[in-house]
Amino acid sequence: MGWIGMAVGGQTPRKAEGRMDMMGRERGFSLVEMIVAMGVMVLVIASVLQMLSQTQQRFVTTAAQEDPTAAGREALDLMTREIRLSGYPPPSSYPPGVIVAGTNEQYVAIGGGILAANPYAVQFEADIGIPAGCNGTTLQLADYRCTSNSGVVSVINYELQVPTGGNVGGCAGLTVNNALTMPTLMRSQMPKNANGTAVVPVFDPFVNNVMNCNLSLPMFTYCAGPPAAAVAGCPTMTSLPSNLPAPRNTRVVLIRIQTQTQNRDPQTGQFYTVEFFNVAQRVNPDQ
């Protein structure tokens, strides 16, 4: 009995020791381990948040760049098409006596396609047409279907205007428009008067935040055929002579538009600018 009791009693310490070993192996994280784990988690979360912030900034930057780019490209395309058509239809396109000045001039571009020209404004006559639906909703004005013949000549004006106090420096002398908050390229299209009298423009905003005058960058450069003096940037036009006075001797118009975003780039803190350039050669130049 004593031996058995000793055997049983001898087993009791070993069982207790085994339970203590299991409890030791099942212990939780130490304070140091938890601090290290939390630090790693903070670093991972911070990296993810930084990536999300950078992605958002790139999205904002791209959107800010696309807005002036799309507006400038559409404006340039429309202006180019319209200036190419300046002077259309000329009197020579009608039989003699059908179109006579003073009674039905609205059907023909008498007196020249380009009527007035300066670096920041141009006025010309052309039958560019505005069919139904070209109201900015059903069809955008820049849509090619909105530049078909209507049968009536329009007087088109493009003019860079500035807000109150903006006619300084390179913008001195430009028209001040109290309704504007930034330099804006304005557009007017009015039917030509039947008796040939002057048409009063009715302007609408066309391209916002145009920086040409601030940078002393001409928006329109007029290239005339010889014997007119050559102008820097104009192509050689020895085969397109003209003895008419300016601006009726204009053969080619160089169009340059520089726009700027209204908001700063969130990454660089700078305004984003984009420049557009095109060449409009008149299809119906004055002879």
Running along the chain, 287 residues long, what does each successive block of 10 average in pLDDT?
Answer: 48 55 62 82 82 65 60 88 90 76 82 89 87 55 53 91 96 96 94 90 93 95 91 88 89 94 73 89 83
**pLDDT value, residue 144:** 44
Residue 88 near residue 283 (C-beta atoms within 8 A): yes
Q: Where are the alpha helices (DSSP H) in the chain?
A: 2-25, 31-84
Residue 216 near residue 120 (C-beta atoms within 8 A): no
Closest CA to 143 of 151, 154, 135: 135
**pLDDT value, residue 1:** 47
pTM of the model: 0.72
Alpha-carbon distance of 258 to 217, in angstroms, equals 8
CA 97 to each of CA 88, 91, 198: distance values in angstroms, whole numbers, following the listed order: 18, 10, 23
**pLDDT value, residue 112:** 73
Specify the length of the chain in residues: 287
1-13 in b/e form (b: 16+ CB < 10 A) is: eeeeeeeeeeeee
Task: Say if strands 220-224 and 154-161 run parallel, antiparallel, or are unpaired.
Answer: unpaired
